[in-house]
Structure 1
Amino acid sequence: MMGGPDFKVLIVDDHAHNLYTLRTLIQKHLNATVLEAASGREAIDLTLNHRDIDLIILDVQMPEMDGFQTASLLKLRKRSRDIPIIFLTAAFKSEEFQQRGFAVGAVDYLLKPIDDNLLINKISTYFRLIEKERSLNRELERKVAERTAELDEARQYLENIITHMGEALLVLTPEGEIKITNPAACRMLGYREEDLLGLSIGDVFEEEGDDEAGAFMGTWLEALIRTGALAKIEARFIASDDRRVPILFSRTAIKDTDGNITDIICIAKDMSGYIRIDNDTVTEATTTTNAARTTEADHEQ
């Protein structure tokens, strides 16, 4: 016996004797479940109730709804449109009628009286093709599942980095609206995440020397468009309680293939408690100390 226990065949004929003959033949040579329909309407109803039909063997000559009409309706329905159909007929032997069968979606056309070996061989061939397709689908599903797991792992890894990084992260739209943030930014600004998202960067940012935070979307944006990034600058965050939090701030533009900015990544380090020392002052202090040491040495001599 060929085939697998998962194969299901629907045979359609208005004569009970023909259904019995087909069912007996298939069950004798193939390991498949056989469903029977005595009319085209019954066949359509069965395809609605059984989603796992693999093959339909359809008699052409039937009253009320013939095989051509039945096949046409089956091909219109999403659930049954891809089921292979083998036509059986004793009357329509001309090439014209065979072409009509192929036109309505038949994959094969057999003449009555049926050659048992020929029918079984054809059904077996379709079973092998179906099993190959199933195998390919299983392999594709496996690869998709593996890739999905890899992407989930990578996403979780990045989320952990963003969540635990010490610097504040703000991802903006090109218009300056906050679309992504991290816990460090929420703590630094004193906002809940849901309250921070959707705010304009001008609501929480004040650049050194600028009276209005709206300057954030001014000349620096033009520079981002030209270069894609700006060096770190000193600025201030405006916290929810109106405190000014000194920060060291950097901005990077993400662009699409056409060069348009899609996102702006902003990273800020809290500089509270740090003291700025001018380089010239450091140099002068070092020079004074060295001069004092030279004087002390002269006195000892």
Structure 2
Amino acid sequence: MNRYSGFTLLAVDDHEHNLFTLRTLVQQHMDVTILEATSGQQALDIALSGAPIDLIILDIQMPEMDGFQTASMLKIRKKTRDIPIIFLTAAFKTQEFQQKGYEVGAVDYLLKPIDDNQLINKISTYFRLIEKERSLNLILEQKVAERTAELAHAKQHLENIITYMGEALLVLNPDGKIMEVNPALRKMLGYSDEELLGMGIGDIFEEEEDEQAGAFMGTWLEALIRVGALNKIEARFITRDGKRIPILFSRTAVKNEAGKISDILCIAKDMTGYIRQDESSGDNTIDADALS
């Protein structure tokens, strides 16, 4: 017989023969571990120090600490507060006393002399509910674990793309401060992560005209708010040693739930191999034909 194997029942009664009767009855119908206590204090000691208990059958009439007091003490302790309690009594048959049992945390209330079938059905009902709850918890834990693994895989995949992409990537906050960078940007500029994070974008970037560079965040932010992205802008990065690197720059706004920009994603392509000399002005410009 393996019915409810693995469950633990605590029976509490100050009369040994009542415990014997209860133990014999339960063992005839189910394969559960039965713990026994002959006083409220002993029940507390067992519940707080031993293995997890799934259900408590608790007699109300006991000397020193009765069933109501015992239940109250069990319910105020974190380890035992959620254990369902079934009260047994021969004396307290009025509605008032039954209501008191529910108020101190009992889930059910049975009268002595014990109706064998009724008691076994009650115990089985609560064990089935516990089984169902545990099964649902296992399913939930499995789904959480699977989802966590999926998110971890997706995160790693994204990190690999960012790490190994050839273009430089920066993430700015709406104030133009650098929040994140990828290895391509660090290599291009010669800065470490510690040096770059928190710097203003204007410290490493310049556009063709001084006015454009000065209005970097104001003009950009207005444009980003309107269109969400700005692509293929010719500009220059300023490296750690002051060298200018020609780049083709794209900027994309990331908005939060309120519709406000929370981050600005910037991707820059090093155009050092695509520069031609303008014969009339002597300026270096990006050869669009070379990119097609």
TM-score, normalised via structure 1 length? 0.85
Mapped partners of 1:34, 1:194: distance in 2: 62
* Equivalent residue, structure 2, for 1:13: 13
Alignment of 1:176 onto 2:176: yes
How far did 1:277 drift? Answer: 7.2
Q: Are the equivalent residues in 2 in contact too, given 1:228–1:253 (CA < 8 A)?
A: yes
Code of the residue aligned with 1:77 in structure 2: it is R
1:132 — aligned with what?
132
Structure 1: give runs of 5+ residues left out of the alignment. Answer: 282-301
User: 1:171 is paired with a residue of what secondary structure?
Assistant: strand
> Alpha-carbon deviation of 1:255?
0.7
Matched residue SS, 2:272: coil
Indicate the RMSD between aligned Cα atoms, in angstroms: 2.3
| Residues 3, 127 of structure 1: 8 Å contact kept | no
**Partner of 1:101: helix, strand, or coil?**
helix
How many angstroms apart in 2 are the aligned matches of 1:136 and 1:70?
Answer: 31
Report if the CA contact (8 A) 1:203-1:213 is conserved: no
Residue in 2 aligned with 1:143?
A: 143
CA contact (8 A) 1:172 1:180 kept: yes
Distance 1:69 1:198, change over 3 A: farther
Indicate yes or no: 2:217 matched with 1:236. no
In 2 relative to 1, CA 177–44 (structure 1 residues): closer, same or farther, beyond 3 Å?
farther
Partner Cα separation in structure 1 for residue 201 and residue 31 of structure 2: 68
Out of 162-171 and 70-79, give the one that drifted further.
Answer: 70-79
Please give the per-residue CA displacement for 1:116-139, whole angstroms capped at 9, x wherever unaligned. 222112111111111111111111
2:230 counterpart SS class: strand
Partner Cα distance (1:260, 1:128) in 2: 51
* Alpha-carbon distance between aligned partners in 1 of 2:187 and 2:134, rounded to the nearest angstrom: 53
Q: Distance in 1 between matches of 2:40 and 2:210?
A: 80
Offset at residue 214 of structure 1 (A): 5.6
- Shift, 1:269, TM fit: 0.7
Shift of 1:276: 4.4
- Tell which structure's C-alpha radius of gyration is larger: 1
Contact 1:230–1:250 at 8 Å: present in 2 too?
A: yes
Question: What corresponds to 1:157 in structure 2?
Answer: 157
Aligned twin of 1:292: none
CA distance in 2, matches of 1:142, 1:49: 30
Partner in structure 2 of residue 63 of structure 1:
63
User: Cα gap change, 1:277/1:46 in structure 2, threshold over 3 Å: closer, same or farther?
Assistant: farther
Against the structure 1 CA distance between its residues 117 and 236, is the aligned structure 2 distance closer, same or farther, given a 3 Å change threshold?
A: same
**Partners of 1:72 and 1:219 in 2: CA distance:** 67
TM-score (norm 2): 0.87
Distance 2:66 2:277 in 1: 94
Rounded Cα–Cα distance in structure 1 between residues aligned with 2:23 and 2:91: 22
2:92 maps to 92
Task: For residue 75 of structure 2, give the secondary structure of its aligned residue in structure 1.
Answer: helix
42-51 or 139-148, which moves further after superposition? 42-51
Structure 1 SS opposite 2:99: helix
1:266/1:80 CA distance change after superposition, 3 Å: same
**What letter is aligned with 1:164?**
Y
Label 1:214 to 1:63 Cα distance change in 2 as closer, same or farther (>3 A).
farther
- Give SS of 1:218's match: helix
By how many angstroms is 1:238 displaced?
A: 1.9
Q: CA deviation at 1:51?
A: 5.5
Q: Deviations over 1:247-277 (max 9, x none)?
A: 1111111112211111111111111132147
Whether 2:109 is the aligned partner of 1:109: answer yes
Q: Counterparts of 1:178 and 1:45 in 2: how far apart (Å)?
A: 59
Cα distance, 1:79–1:202 mapped onto 2, change above 3 Å: farther
Q: Which residue of structure 2 lines up, in the alignment, with residue 289 of structure 1?
A: none
Amino acid of the structure 2 residue aligned with 1:127? F
Shift of 1:165: 0.7
Q: Are the structure 2 counterparts of residues 19 and 236 from structure 1 closer, same or farther at C-alpha, using a change threshold of 3 Å?
A: same
TM-aligned CA deviation for residue 177 of structure 1? 2.2
Distance 2:183 2:221 in 1: 26
Unaligned runs of 5+ in 2: 282-292
Counterparts of 2:199 and 2:15, CA distance in 1: 73
Structure 1 segment 1-301 matched on structure 2, within 5 A = 1=1, 3-50=3-50, 52-210=52-210, 215-276=215-276
Aligned length: 280
| 8 Å Cα contact 1:3/1:124 also seen in 2 | no
